[in-house]
Structure 1
Amino acid sequence: MHLINIFIIFFIPFLTVTTAQIPSPWIPGHPTPEAPGLTFLYTSYVVCLNPLFQMQGPTGIRTAIPIVGGNFTGPRLHGEILDLGADWGETDPQTGIFSANTRYNFRTHDGANIYLQTSGPSQADGDLHLRAIFETGDKNYYWLNNIVAIGLLHQVAKTDTDFTLRIDVWHISTDRNSTTFVNGTTYP
């Protein structure tokens, strides 16, 4: 009998809460939320070698594309792209859509290293829509660790051995644009 009382006290309210209908987040007649603004971050020109290989994986065809150089320029950062990365993108066998999966490094004009990851699907016109994630310990660029960035990629040149991509990147305008550390110092 004691176990039945425990069940009634603890589990019946839980079942009631979890089965209640969740209200719709959008109510007809109410305005659609305004899209967030974007702030330009940089344009990069990324030099890639032709793919090294393709292999069948459990979720698609993986392609290894070396990233061997380039540059980036924006209002708050500029520098070179190091010969230290690759795109390990994958093509979905159901749709033929290629999705980038990159890891590479920026080196700013003042010597900061910024690790960069991008991912995102190809579009019907061949361009890619990207999500960008940054990682750095440099105090002047630490704010990059805490932004939400998107990019548009398209190919601008091709030779027999390599190709060049242009990637334009923006971040949400209300993102942090500086970092205050626990000791109270703020950069930049």
Structure 2
Amino acid sequence: MTPAPPPPVLEPPALEHVGTLSVLIAEPIDVGPTPEGHRRIIPITGGTVAGPRLSGRVLPGGADFQTLHAPELTELEARYALETDDGAVISVDNAALRSGSREAMARLIRGEAVAPAEIYFRCAVRLRTSAPTWDWVNRTLFVGTGERYPDKVVVHLFRML
């Protein structure tokens, strides 16, 4: 009987920083309690993206659709568009989780400043475009870390290698 081969050595995927998004936001629209949780819509008014592989501006007109499942947990689904420095338009679909202590999350929901270290904010991001120069984003998975401030959301975006 042949011995079983050793188990493969599993390596996590490497990450490469592509850019940091600074997404400007307006006052939340409070939908209120629904059967799925408390809903809020946060309009996106503009912003920037700057980094080694991605730079340009965040176009106004998108929104972050939030579901507050518990005082310590918010699920986010942001959809908006970027315009790169060379004029390409890239759509952004950002699915995220934000959690923290009941007190820190309450301050965040009220629009107060909360230190990023107090909040777990991670996201899975899909980018899509019709621009041939940027086709690589259509075939790449992205992850990120987020920081919420009273007037903006900062997302550090990484591509999975």
TM-score normalised to structure 2 length: 0.80
User: Counterpart of 2:152?
Assistant: 164
What is the CA–CA distance in structure 1 between the aligned matches of 2:144 and 2:69, rounded to whole Å? 21
Give the unaligned 5+ runs of structure 1.
1-28, 174-188
- Aligned partner of 2:124 among 122, 131, 134: 131
Is the aligned partner of 1:117 residue 2:105? no
Q: Distance in 1 between matches of 2:124 and 2:36?
A: 20
The residue correspondences of 1:166-181 to structure 2 (distance < 5 A) are: 166-173=154-161
CA RMSD, 1 decimal: 1.9
1:13-24 alignment runs, 5 A limit: none
Match status 1:53 vs 2:30: yes
Of 124, 129, 136 in structure 2, the residue corresponding to residue 143 of structure 1 is 136
1:64-106 residue CA offsets vs partner (Å, 9 max, x unmatched):
000111100122221000111000111114x641011010010
How far the C-alpha of 1:31 sits from its partner, in A, is 6.4
2:111 corresponds to:
none
Contact map agreement 2:62 2:78 (CA 8 A) in 1? yes
Match of 1:105 in 2: 81
Partner SS, residue 121 of structure 1 = strand
Aligned equivalents of 2:99, 2:50: Cα separation in 1 = 25
- In the alignment, structure 2 segments of 5+ residues that lack a partner are 1-5, 101-117
Q: Which amino acid aligns with 1:135?
A: R
Do the aligned residues in 2 keep the contact of 1:114 with 1:134 (CA within 8 Å)? yes
1:88–1:100 Cα contact (<8 Å) kept: yes
SS in 2 for 1:145: helix
CA contact (8 A) 1:123 1:129 kept: no
Higher RCO (CA < 8 A, seq sep 6+): 2
Which structure has the highest strand share of the two? 2
Shift of 1:32: 5.5
